[in-house]
Amino acid sequence: MKKLLTFTLAAILAIIAIASLGNIVGLAICLIIVYYSLKQFLKTDSTWQKIAWGILGVIGLSGLLGNLPALAGIAAVYVLYVGFKNWKKEKAEAVETEHDPFTSFERQWNELEKGRTKI
């Protein structure tokens, strides 16, 4: 039951991530526009160029605010990544913790040896 719930949650998160790919791309483009306009705004000395770069920056900021639902997609991708990483780690630990009768025998033998030396 736990695996079914995990796979269902992973499918829902994958759908959310795929559905918000457009917003993620738009967010990235708007971030680039805002960064470049801010960089050019600080670099220029002309008043008219500062006005032009400021207007371009405001346009980029409005696009950035319009693409804020991309944060849900980014969060979904992050949760999928962390879940996949932990799922792989659990699989690796499960292989290592196989029941080996020889390790059990060695552990019991060591306990007997410790008990014998105390007497």
Q: pLDDT at residue 2 above 60?
A: yes
Q: pLDDT at residue 90 above 80?
A: no
Angle of helix 21-43 relative to helix 2-19, nearest 10 degrees?
A: 50
d(CA 33, CA 61): 9
- What does the pLDDT look like over 24-77, one tens digit per residue? 999 999 999 999 999 999 999 999 999 999 999 999 999 999 999 999 999 999
How many CB atoms are located within 10 Å of the residue 78 CB?
Answer: 12
Q: pLDDT at residue 99 above 70?
A: no
pLDDT band at 96 (very low <50, low <70, confident <90, very high): low
Q: What angle do CA 104, 107, 111 make, to 5 degrees?
A: 135
Tokens of 25: 């791309």
Under 8 Å between Cβ of 31 and 70: no
pLDDT at 105: 76
Q: pLDDT at residue 106 above 60?
A: yes
Q: pLDDT at residue 82 above 60?
A: yes
Average pLDDT score over the chain: 86
